[in-house]
Amino acid sequence: MMQLHQISDKSQPAVTLPGWPLLRLGFRPFYLGAALLACLSVPVWAAAFLGYFELKLDLAPLLWHGHEMLFGFAAGVVAGFLLTAVKAWTGLETARGPLLGTLALLWLAARIAALGAPYPVFMGLDMALLPAVALVLLRVLIKAGNKRNIPLVSLLMLMAVANLVFHLSVLGAIAVPAVAALYAQLALIIMVVCVMTGRVVPMFTKNVTPGLVINVSRKFELTLLAVTAVTLALWVLGAPAPLVGVLALLAAVLHAARLWQWHPQVTAKRPILWVLHASYAWMPIGFALLALAQWGQVALSLAVHAFAVGVIGGLIIGMITRTARGHTGRPLLASRGEVAAYALVLLAAVARVLVPAVHPAWYSFAVEAAACLWAVGFAIYLVIYTPWLTQSRLDGKDG
């Protein structure tokens, strides 16, 4: 995982380096773009969904919302994270300057095209990014002999396949529901989250807690990953609901046990760390709701948003602050503004998932509240981080 070391609070004068700072490392443009998309698109969707105005797109509004959150927002963060992480893992350049700018503009062009360009144009732009990022990363990993992380590139290609299925479905070229492709993308992102959190959250927790021992057995980890993958695959493929329900309940228990082994209670005074634990707590909640949905006890959308808002949204706001601080030469200590952003995004999950689960009559209010909380959380990120990500590192290093 990326080496994220806390530095002294005393900032060093910035050193002039060649090239525009925004294009020196992948996290810079992709984190900013993803945060802006999160901040703008969710309130637009919520307002249209609640009938405040009509959203006229080639895509059905619900499909646009799901696609942009999963293939725009989340995939953009994954791309920026991996372009940054692979450089840290290998010591080799991934993408910077014109190449990074091209990738970022490709992502942005697809987001704009979704709003009004002819659908084949949107499809072409949208389909290009994930394979391009995968090729960049694969070249670097092969050159460095880093075979351990090649499966992450494979996940990017699977995401590209899910995106292709989505677009072909929308065009009527295949008889697969477009929403199934969205569920597949959600499942793939959850698998990325499972792998990466298993690597970094225990490490981060131990690094700041003297004497803490976290020993999660490899057998347990492999069992958890296998059960999670099988459960999600069977759900996406439409396996019998009772079977998916039982497996989802087992997955919920395993993820709860994993979180317990990470000792989340020791993170109470470190917001930049507790946000990761609190977000991961939505993983067993999501699988429990998925089980209940299979048995007809709750709406499936509650499970989907537990994963999408609670797990993915919460971990993203946590990681895009932590990694951006580390890679701009700043201490790994969250400010009050960042803590507010963490709380707002996690409260958005509570509003979107738990409020309608407990009181279905408040559904419209819950959607509106969740959209506002989410948007303000990512707006805070933009206010704090836009100057940081468009300027050189405080310690004068490249990146």
**Average pLDDT over every residue of 355-363:** 93
What's the whole-model pTM score? 0.92
Core vs surface per residue 210-226: b (16+ CB within 10 A) or e: eeeeeeeeeeebeebee
Cα dihedral sign, 313-125-174-152: negative
Kindly give the interhelix angle for 336-349 and 271-280, rounded to the nearest 10 degrees.
10
| Average pLDDT for the chain | 93
Q: For residue 239, give the DSSP letter.
A: -
Report pLDDT digits (tens) over 8-46. Answer: 334 444 445 667 899 999 999 999 999 999 999 999 999
Q: For residue 53, give the DSSP letter.
A: S
DSSP assignment of 118-140 equals -HHHHHHHHHHHHHHHHHHHHHH
Residue 236: closest CA among 292, 290, 180: 180
Q: Domain locations in the chain? A: 21-389
* Measured CA distances, 154 to 85, 160, 233 (Å): 16, 10, 16
Q: For residue 12, give the DSSP letter.
A: P
Residue 374: closest CA among 310, 328, 323: 310
Residue 11: its pLDDT value, please? 43
d(CA 383, CA 125): 29
What class is the 21-389 domain?
A: mainly alpha
Contact between 395 and 329 under an 8 Å Cβ cutoff? The reply is yes
Residue 83: its pLDDT value, please? 96
Q: For residue 10, give the DSSP letter.
A: S
Question: Percent of the chain beyond pLDDT 90?
Answer: 86
Band of residue 208 on the pLDDT scale cut at 50, 70, 90: confident
